[in-house]
Amino acid sequence: MSLCLEARKLACERDDRWLFRDLELVIRGGEVLRVEGPNGSGKTTLLKILSGQLTDYRGELFWQEEPLHKARRDFLANLLYLGHAPGVKAALTPLENLAWYQALAGAGSAEADRMSALEAVGLAGFEDLPAGQLSAGQQRRVALARLELTPRPLWILDEPFTAIDREGVADLEARLAAHVQAGGSVVLTTHQALHVPVPMRRIRLGEGHGHVAS
Amino acid sequence: MSRPEARSAIVSPDRARGVDASLTSALYATMRRDLILLLRRPGAVLNPLAFFALVITLFPIGISPDPELLAIIAPGLLWVAALLAALLSLDGLFREDAEDGALEQLLLAPHPLPALALAKVAVHWLTTGLPLALMAPVLGVMLSLPLGSYGVLALSLALGSATLSVIGAIGAALTVGVSRGGVLLSLLVLPLYVPVLIFGAGAVQAAIAGSGVAAHLALLGALLAAALVFAPWAIAASLRISLNG
């Protein structure tokens, strides 16, 4: 069974201004959906609506043909969301940070899994330092290690490339491509050029409506 | 490492094995994480205790060192000071999580939010209410609290402060998006704290007077039970409202 997240006639208004209106969207496995638009055009808002965090919108969302509010538990068990804030505790070490996410996602408690996830994002050797002592890019990498640690088919990533260095960007692009080739789906916002050898669609937000282009 | 095909397979939590086991481990991990965070930053635990000790130390100096007078007002003083100390620490319950993004991840976990929120509240009680209750008899000595009421004081505070933590968490969840929401939080939850204060201080007074304390303690227990049944849903709803804004 492939994943399917569908938005019908999605509209969202903020401060008497339509961020987008009549947005029709189907997200299926095996593709990248890139949300584009200038600052303040509602990219983060759209991602939060699609991940079921905001309820202040019009239109309907469906997960696997079922209304999202009914299939919420099912949906959340298949979703991995990385927000603007990395969700990394400065006082905890990367290993401890990941332990919480591992348990929250029901992915066991094996330290070997956490170590290999940290290794995959280039943080081997930093696993026992408090995250507050790591650089902004390294903290972002701790959050990105969740992509390795907790396998979920649908990734919703808000500016995942923030503070990541050039090799890190290439690594992450490769990881996104591998995920999509394996049947997963990625929704993301970024202001960077994105080089992935997989099908990619774009939504352009701004001027009060959303355009879906392939 | 699992194969790529398996990594993107759709799962359904109802069909997945061990739903309860995964919830238990999520609750355990949340409590463990919060306890480690508090251990690394003990100020958050020590501040309410220091506040409690300071207030109780200052009262005999400010009013009168007369043991008979102090013994009369001691139950109320101890309870009011403990209540305010617990209230002081509530503001930070969800704030840090909201700022670093951990709260939105908590809301996106495929587990019931009331249960996860209650795990955080349990840690708050373990690190605030319980130490306050254990410390109160020591401070009772300073207020010449009559012998024989120390046990009831600690027990009533332990029971009552659990209710305070659970109810206060609703206010903390509602004000998490408000910067410097401490005053607002106090205004929201203080009216709900009044019954706990009445029966808590009443239990200690009854112990001093030699009448039965069972009724007061039973009522405190009933308040806690009612709070445990209803408050988790209110906390979860409040968190959703706060993050929606």
Query: What confidence score (pLDDT) does residue A136 get?
Result: 92
- pTM for the model stands at 0.91
What count of CB pairs under 8 Å joins A to B? 120
* Sign of the four-CA dihedral B68, B72, B77, B82: positive
Interface test with A, best of B1, B2, B8 (most A CBs within 10 A): B8
Interface test with A, best of B12, B105, B123 (most A CBs within 10 A): B105
What mean pLDDT is predicted for residues B103-129? 95
Query: What confidence score (pLDDT) does residue B18 get?
Result: 56
Burial B88-98 (b: 16+ CB within 10 A, else e): bbbbebbbbbb
Distance CA B112, CA B161 (A): 24
The interface predicted TM-score (ipTM) is 0.90
Contact of B101 with chain A, judged by CB distance below 8 Å, is answered with yes
Residues from chain B contacting residue A55 (CB–CB below 8 Å): 240, 244
Q: Which of residues 122-151 of A touch B (CB under 8 A)?
A: 130, 151
Q: State the pLDDT confidence band at A209, using cuts at 50, 70 and 90.
A: low
Query: What confidence score (pLDDT) does residue A108 get?
Result: 81
User: What is the tens place of the pLDDT at every residue in B43-58?
Assistant: 989 999 999 999 999 9
Q: Which of residues 1-40 of A touch B (CB under 8 A)?
A: 1-3, 29
Residue A184 C-alpha, separation from nearest chain B C-alpha, in angstroms: 5
For chain A, what are the domain ranges?
1-78+152-214, 89-151
The CATH number of domain A1-78+152-214 is 3.40.50.300:
yes
- Check: CB of residue B225 under 8 Å from CB of residue B159: no
- Check: CB of residue A158 under 8 Å from CB of residue A34: no
Query: What confidence score (pLDDT) does residue A192 get?
Result: 84
User: What is the tens place of the pLDDT at every residue in A155-183?
Assistant: 999 999 988 999 999 999 999 999 999 99
User: What is the tens place of the pLDDT at every residue in B136-178?
Assistant: 999 999 999 988 899 999 999 999 999 999 999 999 999 998 8
Interface test with A, best of B14, B20, B23, B108 (most A CBs within 10 A): B108
Distance CA A85, CA B104 (A): 9
In chain B, what percentage of residues exceed pLDDT 90? 78
